[in-house]
Amino acid sequence: MGYNCVVCVKQVPDTKRITGQAMKEDGTVNRAALPAVFNPEDLNALEAALRVRDEHGGTVTVITMGLPAACEVLRDALFRGADAVVLVTDRRAAASDTLATSYILSCAAKKLHPDLIFCGRQAIDGDTAQVGPQLAEKLGFTLITYLEDLKLDGRVATARRNVGNGYEVVRARLPALFTVVESANHPRPTAVKRAMKSKKARAPVEVAKAVDTELPSATPEAKAVETKKRCAELAARGLQIMQWNLDDLQADLSWCGGAGSPTKVHRIQSIVLAGGDYKEFPPTEDGVTRLLGELIEDHTIG
Ligand SMILES: Cc1cc2nc3c(=O)[nH]c(=O)nc-3n(C[C@H](O)[C@H](O)[C@H](O)COP(=O)(O)OP(=O)(O)OC[C@H]3O[C@@H](n4cnc5c(N)ncnc54)[C@H](O)[C@@H]3O)c2cc1C
């Protein structure tokens, strides 16, 4: 039996390759100084879904909510083996916190009727690890976090969860949502054949931008006609990135963007750990006794 798998992926700033000041003076992220990449654990989530499809059949559809630039991660997902990709983009989604983001993603997921949804455990920029659990709650799906290994037998999933100091095996009925950790797998690299085939895949918003650049003096009507024609050509060749806005999702606007975001950021602090912030204890009986004493004293344990 084949499974309908959906993978949620996010484009994030690459914090490992900072090319200038990472933070602006107002404490917000200076995205211009940081190249954008596929959120690392979302690659593990994609790999987990691709393995389900390879073993049992079915499809893998990748969704991202973001600016048109996020099409880069969608093309990357196609190069790695995704069957279809969806860009959810809408100005009215700006300023969404995790609650609004998961609501919008839940509307998109409902359109796809998945058996399984895979998310990364955490995004390296927002870093909350909230979107996966919130999405499961909104869809009424069983939630399994910290996924390392998955076996499927009909509508029953058996999952190994990494619980930090060991693992736990749990069983659940589908539909289910999994948040996947880095230790789950080694994401497959992009396949050259797939990259050659899908490198021209474009979302309508990207096609419209190209038409705008190539035909600067055309009327808005002529540009719209040309955009529609090019999108139809791409669709005929299986190269169209699906694009949905909040109307396509029939989303309740009071749950989206700033209106649907109760989070208020009061202060952003840059914390630099100084060398003296850690202590070393020798791996001896005396060292372990001293370590335990300190941990009990500062109430970390006991
Ligand atoms: C008050 C406020 C305003 C904000 N305004 C904006 C804004 O205007 N523009 C903006 O870009 N961000 C904005 N953010 C950040 C935005 O809320 C988070 O980036 C987003 O909700 C995801 O949270 P996270 O990064 O902690 O992801 P996590 O919860 O750590 O992510 C876990 C997993 O969920 C999935 N996931 C997360 N985000 C997405 C996504 N967008 N698409 C698909 N899958 C996803 C991925 O699988 C990811 O690995 C704002 C945040 C706050 C608090």
Going from the C-alpha of 188 to that of each of 49, 50, 81, 84, 256, the distances in angstroms are 12, 9, 9, 17, 34
Per-residue confidence (pLDDT) for residue 14, from 0 to 100 = 86
Is residue 19's pLDDT more than 80? no
Residues 6+ apart with CB under 8 A from 199: 75, 79
Parse the chain into domains and list their residue ranges. Answer: 3-203+241-260, 272-302
More confident residue, 123 or 302: 123
DSSP H helices, the chain, are 40-56, 71-80, 98-112, 131-139, 192-198, 204-214, 220-236, 285-297
Question: Average pLDDT for residues 5-20, to the nearest whole number?
Answer: 87
Write down the pLDDT at residue 27.
Answer: 60
Measured from the CA of 264, which atom of ligand 1 is nearest? Answer: 1
pLDDT of amino acid 127: 84
* Average pLDDT over every residue of 156-181: 96
pTM of the model: 0.89
Question: From the CB of 122, is ligand 1 less than 6 Å away?
Answer: yes
Burial class, 129, CB count within 10 angstroms (exposed 0-12 / middle 13-18 / buried 19+): middle
Q: From 3.40.50.620, 3.90.1150.10, 3.40.120.10, 3.30.460.20, which CATH number describes the 3-203+241-260 domain?
A: 3.40.50.620
pLDDT in tens, 268-296: 777 776 766 678 899 999 999 999 998 88
36 Cα–ligand 1 center, Å: 14
What's the average model confidence in pLDDT over 90-94? 96
How high is the pLDDT of residue 26?
Answer: 63
What percentage of the chain carries pLDDT values higher than 90? 80
Look at ligand 1, atom 22, and give the residue with the nearest C-alpha. 98
* Cα Rg, the chain, nearest whole Å: 22
Helix (H) or strand (E) holding 60: strand 58-65
* pLDDT value, residue 99: 97
Position 87 scores a pLDDT of 98
121-148: per-residue pLDDT in tens?
A: 999 988 899 999 999 999 999 999 999 9
Q: Does residue 145 have its Cβ closer than 6 Å to ligand 1?
A: no
Task: Provide the pLDDT confidence category of residue 214 given band limits of 50, 70 and 90.
Answer: very high
d(CA 40, CA 263): 25
Q: Are the C-beta atoms of residues 149 and 184 closer than 8 Å to each other?
A: yes
Q: Which of 101, 105, 143 to mutate to test the pocket of ligand 1 (most atoms within 8 A of CB)?
A: 101
Is pLDDT above 70 for 302? Answer: no
> Ligand 1, residues 47, 97, 99, 125: which to mutate, most atoms within 8 A of Cβ?
97
Distance CA 268, CA 252 (A): 30
Using the atom order of ligand 1, give the atom closest to the CA of residue 122. Answer: 30
Residue whose C-alpha is closest to residue 175's, from 105, 106, 121, 114: 114
CA of 265 to the centre of ligand 1 (A): 14
With a cut of 70, say whether residue 81 has pLDDT above it: yes
Q: Is the CB of 128 under 6 A from ligand 1?
A: yes
Six-digit token string for 95:
């300023």
Identify the residue whose C-alpha is closest to ligand 1 atom 32. Answer: 122
How many CA within 13 A on the CB side of residue 95? Answer: 13
Does residue 90 have its Cβ closer than 6 Å to ligand 1? no
- Whether 76 shows a pLDDT value over 80: the answer reads yes
* Ligand 1 centroid – CA 289 distance (Å): 43
Average pLDDT on 21-37 reads 73
